């Protein structure tokens, strides 16, 4: 890093990076600003971001409507505790989320990260049964290759891998099953559920797309059958839409495509259009009602310091405005959106953001299919705004990570996946830059 800024060289000896062997880590690239789909580096280079900062930046960086909402909220009320005090951005957002998700959700519990939203979902499920006098239901069902976050409960329901082997001593003992793929494996799955149902509080799944695990997809039919089994055997169904929600799979939420509704729903990542940290755990009236009563220990005991942070909620409300506005003109004119602000999305209106996300499916396929015969590519799959090149075991993803910025692109392949999850606003020109960078990197 020859041209590294002062802050970088001064701070580097004190930084501990995520998921990184610090002895050999590729030094991170200093970013000074970002706009749309482009990151601006300290040395003046621009990179097209093909993964939307861990899939959160669905409308692109520095979206003027969201930035404006953040600025105004920071001036008005930057933070206030959520116990005993109330503020408009959170109350407005809770009501809007219940409508926008359109899954019969009635109550919203806010947190600051997806992992915590998952912890809250697990606590809710456990206590739901305890409150109903079934305290023996303490286990969870999750799936191989799933990913639900890095805190203890979330890690316990995620795939066992080198991401969590060091923490095995702290893990909860749950049931981890394979997502059934056909009638035969489904029958086996249902038999297993029938055998263990009495001990199980809930099943947790990333609907349609297992993201960070291995970017594997399953069908809407399988998903709706899994949902049915949970209902038949009285097991709560937790949909973790932290990665899939807000249009990423091509429909507003992955559960919509399967025509299902969960008992508990986790949201995060793109909830604020990626501009602020915020997550939420939503529950049906039925789940919520189990927590009512005179006994204090029936109440849900959770309360992050920065719960329902007003600036984050304002950003999320602004992001929902963008989803709800019906033309690209009103998206670029923030005054129009502001007048529309309190408007609540109608559940089946087509709009530009979701249309863009849906249209990306064909574009990603067009750009990625050329790599299907490449010797290190074993599979090409696309779902909505998610494109995946599954790589042969042993593919050197670290070499790829080093190479992409040299071709003007920010991609971060890991394990055996080279994936794209760009902002929905990515232009055809920018997509071309990404595809040609992949071609060059794979050629080496
Ligand atoms: C990213 C992710 C999480 C964890 O969210 P954080 O905000 O990183 O804690 C949980 N579940 C899924 C499906 C995710 O993709």
Tens of pLDDT, residues 57-66: 999 999 999 9
Does position 274 have pLDDT exceeding 90, yes or no?
A: yes
CA–centroid distance, 293 to ligand 1, in Å, is 32
Does position 194 have pLDDT exceeding 70, yes or no?
A: yes
Residues 90 and 82: beta-carbon distance below 8 Å: yes
Name the 3-class secondary structure at 364: helix
Task: Name the percent of the chain lying above pLDDT 90.
Answer: 91
Residues 319 and 423: beta-carbon distance below 8 Å: no
Q: For residue 54, which atom of ligand 1 is closest to its CA?
A: 1
pLDDT mean across residues, the chain:
93
pLDDT for the residue 173: 84
Of the residues 49, 128, 263, 269, only one is catalytic, namely 269
Bridge-based pairing state of the strands 386-391 and 377-383: antiparallel
Mean pLDDT of 172-184: 93
pLDDT for the residue 329: 40
Q: Is 149 a pocket residue for ligand 1 (Cβ < 6 Å)?
A: yes
pLDDT for the residue 234: 97
Question: How far is 27 from 402, CA to CA, in rounded Å?
Answer: 9
How do residues 110-143 score in pLDDT, each as one tens digit? 999 999 999 999 999 999 999 999 999 999 999 9
How do residues 235-259 score in pLDDT, each as one tens digit? 999 999 999 999 999 999 999 999 9
For ligand 1, atom 10, name the residue with the nearest CA. 148
Residues 312 and 276: beta-carbon distance below 8 Å: yes
As beta bridge partners, residue 47 has 39
Q: For residue 279, which atom of ligand 1 is closest to its CA?
A: 7
Per the annotation, the verdict on 269 as an active-site residue is yes
Residues 302 and 151: beta-carbon distance below 8 Å: no
For ligand 1, atom 8, name the residue with the nearest CA. 114
Residue 71's contacts (CB-CB under 8 Å, 6 or more residues apart) are none
CA–centroid distance, 179 to ligand 1, in Å, is 19
pTM for the whole structure: 0.94
Q: For residue 277, which atom of ligand 1 is closest to its CA?
A: 7
Residue 413's contacts (CB-CB under 8 Å, 6 or more residues apart) are 391, 397, 400, 401, 419
- Packed helices 64-76 and 310-324: angle between N→C axes, nearest 10 degrees: 150
Per the annotation, the verdict on 240 as an active-site residue is yes
Does position 218 have pLDDT exceeding 90, yes or no?
A: yes
Give the single-character DSSP code of 22: T
For ligand 1, atom 11, name the residue with the nearest CA. 148
Confidence of residue 326 (pLDDT cuts 50, 70, 90): low
CA–centroid distance, 359 to ligand 1, in Å, is 25
Name the 3-class secondary structure at 19: coil
Q: Is 118 a pocket residue for ligand 1 (Cβ < 6 Å)?
A: yes
Task: Name the percent of the chain lying above pLDDT 70.
Answer: 94
CA–centroid distance, 190 to ligand 1, in Å, is 27
Q: How far is CA 2 from the centre of its chain?
A: 35
Does position 344 have pLDDT exceeding 70, yes or no?
A: no
Per the annotation, the verdict on 8 as an active-site residue is no
CA–centroid distance, 205 to ligand 1, in Å, is 12
Bridge-based pairing state of the strands 139-143 and 200-205: parallel
Q: Is 114 a pocket residue for ligand 1 (Cβ < 6 Å)?
A: yes
Does position 347 have pLDDT exceeding 90, yes or no?
A: no
Residue 439's contacts (CB-CB under 8 Å, 6 or more residues apart) are 370, 371
| Four-residue CA torsion sign, 362, 367, 368, 371 | positive
Q: Is 263 a pocket residue for ligand 1 (Cβ < 6 Å)?
A: no
pLDDT for the residue 2: 57
Six token digits for residue 50: 């093909």
For tokens 């919520």, the residue is: 288
Mean pLDDT of 353-369: 96
Mean pLDDT of 150-159: 96
State the maximum Cα–Cα separation within the chain, in Å, rounded to a whole number. 67
Confidence of residue 9 (pLDDT cuts 50, 70, 90): very high
Does position 206 have pLDDT exceeding 80, yes or no?
A: yes
Q: Is 148 a pocket residue for ligand 1 (Cβ < 6 Å)?
A: yes
pLDDT for the residue 351: 82
pLDDT for the residue 350: 52
Q: Is 240 a pocket residue for ligand 1 (Cβ < 6 Å)?
A: yes
Per the annotation, the verdict on 428 as an active-site residue is no
pLDDT for the residue 327: 46
How do residues 67-97 score in pLDDT, each as one tens digit? 999 999 999 999 999 999 999 999 999 999 9
In this predicted model, which residue has the larger pLDDT, 57 or 213?
A: 57
Six token digits for residue 64: 């003027």
Does position 346 have pLDDT exceeding 80, yes or no?
A: no
Residues 386 and 419: beta-carbon distance below 8 Å: yes
Does position 400 have pLDDT exceeding 70, yes or no?
A: yes
Rounded to whole angstroms, what are the CA distances from 192 to 105, 185, 200?
A: 29, 11, 11
Q: Is 318 a pocket residue for ligand 1 (Cβ < 6 Å)?
A: no
CA–centroid distance, 373 to ligand 1, in Å, is 32
């Amino acid at each position: 890093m020859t041209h590294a800024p002062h802050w970088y060289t001064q701070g580097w000896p004190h930084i501990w990076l995520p998921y990184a062997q610090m002895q050999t880590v590729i030094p991170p690239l200093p970013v000074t600003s970002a706009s749309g789909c482009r990151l601006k580096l300290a040395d003046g280079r621009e990179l097209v971001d093909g993964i939307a900062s861990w899939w959160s930046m669905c409308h692109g960086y520095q979206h003027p409507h969201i930035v404006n909402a953040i600025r105004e909220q920071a001036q008005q009320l930057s933070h206030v505790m959520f116990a005993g005090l109330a503020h408009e951005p959170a109350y407005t957002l809770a009501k809007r989320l219940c409508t926008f998700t359109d899954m019969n959700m009635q109550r919203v519990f806010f947190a600051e990260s997806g992992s915590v939203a998952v912890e809250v979902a697990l606590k809710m499920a456990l206590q739901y049964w305890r409150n109903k006098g079934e305290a023996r239901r303490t286990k969870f069902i999750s799936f191989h290759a799933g990913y639900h976050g890095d805190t203890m409960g979330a890690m316990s329901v995620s795939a066992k891998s080198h991401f969590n082997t060091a923490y095995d001593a702290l893990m909860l003992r749950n049931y981890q099953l394979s997502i059934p793929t056909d009638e035969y494996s489904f029958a086996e799955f249902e038999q297993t559920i029938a055998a263990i149902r009495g001990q199980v509080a809930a099943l947790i799944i990333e609907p349609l797309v297992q993201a960070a695990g291995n970017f594997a997809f399953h069908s809407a039919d399988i998903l709706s059958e899994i949902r049915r089994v949970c209902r038949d055997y009285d097991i709560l169904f937790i949909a973790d839409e932290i990665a899939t929600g807000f249009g990423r799979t091509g429909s507003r939420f992955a559960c919509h495509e399967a025509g299902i509704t969960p008992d508990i729903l986790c949201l995060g990542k793109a909830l604020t259009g990626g501009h602020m940290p915020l997550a939420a755990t939503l529950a049906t009236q039925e789940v919520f009602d189990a927590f009512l009563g005179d006994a204090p220990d029936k109440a849900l005991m959770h309360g992050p310091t920065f719960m329902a942070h007003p600036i984050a909620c304002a950003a999320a409300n602004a992001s929902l405005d963008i989803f709800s506005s019906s033309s690209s003109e009103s998206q670029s004119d923030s005054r129009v959106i502001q007048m529309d602000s309190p408007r609540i999305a109608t559940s089946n209106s087509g709009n530009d953001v979701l249309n863009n996300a849906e249209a990306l499916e064909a574009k990603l396929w067009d750009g990625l299919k050329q790599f299907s015969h490449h010797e290190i590519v074993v599979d090409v799959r696309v779902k909505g705004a998610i494109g995946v090149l599954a790589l042969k075991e042993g593919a050197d993803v670290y070499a790829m990570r080093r190479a992409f910025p040299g071709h003007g692109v920010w991609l971060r392949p890991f394990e055996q996946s080279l994936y794209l999850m760009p902002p929905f606003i990515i232009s055809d020109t920018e997509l071309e830059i990404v595809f040609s960078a992949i071609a060059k990197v794979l050629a080496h």
